[in-house]
Structure 1
Amino acid sequence: MTDFNKERAKDEIAVSLTLSTFCMQRIGFSFNRPNSFASYYSQKLMFILSVCGICYHVFSEIVFIGLTLWNSPRVEDVVPLLHTFGYGALSITKVFVLWYKKDVFGQLLSELADIWPMSPLEEDAQNIKNKSLSALRIAHRWYFWLNVSGVWFYNLTPIGVYIFRVCRGQLAEIGFVWVSWYPFDKQKPVAHVAVYVFEMFAGQTCVWIMICTDLLFSGMASHIGMLLRLLQRRLESLAIVYKTDEEYYQEILSNVKLHQRLIRYCNNLEEAFSLVNLINIVLSSINICCVVFVIVLLEPFMAVSNKLFLGSALIQIGVLCWYADDIYHANAKVASAAYNSFWYKTSPRCRRTLLFLIKRSQKPIAFTAMKFTNISLVTYSAILTRSYSYFALLYTMYRDN
């Protein structure tokens, strides 16, 4: 690929990850070096404030959960605290991985530009590319707005509850966004305002981190799925047009090399996100179970906020499983495409090379949770099943009490 085409490819990839980049900038993070010292230090300061904010936010929730367990270890007192703590803990894990693997992600984006399909493409290939980018864009917008609207419902609910009670002539005071512990009296006027502002900042920071990492993963995984489908298209049309034996062989060889690059790319992407995937799989069942318990049995004033949280949690783990499953099946279909490539029109040398491609395609490409389990839509089904089991257990304990 020429330098000009590579720059165009980078621009197209950047456009597909616009919302992810936007959220990264909100926490002071970027894969590109700042243009000036002022922007560099302001970016570092914002990143430090964001990380410190969410770390104390999660720490204060841990302390409050501990105090609650000590003073009132009832199901209805403890369970409403767990899903927000789980969300914050997952955010800390994701921002750590984002920072620690910064160079890896930058390299992956650069490698993606090297194999990015550029115009002019055949009509079928262009349709595959357009359809994939369009679906990704729609999914990213929905995910972005669901998460942002959810956190702002949380942020504004205490004010809404205050106005509601005042209108009904009840004694009312503005509460707080999250249930957290602070080493001072947070009911004093100045402290109350400061805590409320801090909790809005911490909650929004958690959402920025969650969105940017999820959209980064889904975007890169979607592009790999698209490239695998384009490879299928190239293989299926391999011997439709008559060529010399050498031309057949070189085309097959280029497809084999592309497939190997895609496999290496998927393995590198899987390694970068493996820890996040493990924490995600472990916490998702607990988060979904706890928020469903709260929606069904507790806190009517938080119903809308918690329903948006539930939708976000379901979509967040669903996106991970969907794109992992898509890559798994797209790679398996490469073997079928190679077999349907009119291989019988080619020479024995070409057939042996295609056989190598088929055998390699039959070995699954799978995203894992630190190698403990492969991630697919079957995993999503298992998470929902476990969530219901946990909910049934909590409901039984609550009913007995």
Structure 2
Amino acid sequence: MTETMDQKHSRRAKRLRENQGIRSLMEDLGKQTGHPDEIPLGGGNPAHIPEAEAVFHETFANLTKDPAFRSLLGDYQAPIGNDHFREIAAESLSSHLGANLRKENIAFFNGSQNAYSYLLNLHSGIMADGSFKKILLPIVPEYIGYADQTISEGVFVANPPNVIQTGKNRFRYELNKSSFDLTDVGVLAISRPTNPTGNVMNLSDLEWMEGKTKEQNIPILIDLAYGNPFPNLIGKEDPIHFGEGRTLSLSFSKIGLPGVRLGIVISNEETIEILSSFAAVGNLAVGNLGVFMMEQLFQKNLLSQLSANILRPFYESRRDFALEQFTLAFQKMGVAFEIHDPMGGFFLWIRFPKLSISNHQLYHLCKDKRLFIVSGHYFFPGLNTDFSHTKECIRLTYCRKEEELARGAQILAEIVASHQAKSE
């Protein structure tokens, strides 16, 4: 039966079907039943913050009273957004991104995931001159959603990180400059803050990489879904600005609007023009709701206020609570653990160096207890070296209620404690 199915479908279909990374994560999100014992710490849903939702409710209510409401429901946008909305975004984002942006630098997509499916394929695979170009991930682990987006196979290459101990039970990944190799590379891709670890690459490392990439005219894609200018969860690090060789992507999902599906790409005019062709074929047009809401939020400068006064304080407080709860639970149960310094974003990246089972097996044991986490093995596409963290780490979100975080910490600690190698 499987052989017959393979004969009917493409190699890409077979590859997508076999790799369960992003699909598993999103199905876990979508299939949760609301059972009182469920603890959904796996997905990337933002927290439901009443103060933020009040802003969105008012914005949406204003749209329903606007004469343009008929256009919101009844008209197509251009493939990457109408000029009017692109001009608003360019004007608003210029000051935040330190550049004099024009509408020709702006494109809208149905989420930044959608945008990256085009961007990664634009710069990798079989090129017009017949060469084959790859996607370099300068530091892994890296976002689970990149791995299966490319049409060509074998395009990812990962630079193994340096692991720096930063304190008791704490560590951080840093750029490994000694193994940094641009051979056959067509593009670099990073998220800042990094999903899954919460790492925020410092600007000196980014500029060091650009010193290498500009020599070969290699662009860098920088995913700012959790970064500046909104929701601006970047800790004490400096914000990213737009510049030559950089393509930036922003998302409305992590400000609290994942259902709106709006992603914004900022790039050079040529890249934006090519992306318009991708979008026309793949989507016909960007959805209307996101860009109509964006117009109000940008014109009233609401996102800067929301990020500074509501989102960032909330997530930093919830992060500190989660760190306390998981640290106490692990210590109480005698669990050997390390947590990556959570500099920004929504997640804790936790390593269990004495785990006697794989992190994927741990995921299933947790799921049996209605605790949802994400196995860390999905976050290392293109890594060809032996690195123990690929089997020892998990990702979990701290966006949930404090009660859920406390219960989740206890359950996870109990499971890991019963499945770790005994000290000699």
Q: TM-score range by the shorter chain?
A: under 0.3
Larger radius of gyration: 1
Output the TM-score relative to the length of structure 1: 0.22
Output the TM-score relative to the length of structure 2: 0.21
Higher strand share: 2
Higher helix share: 1
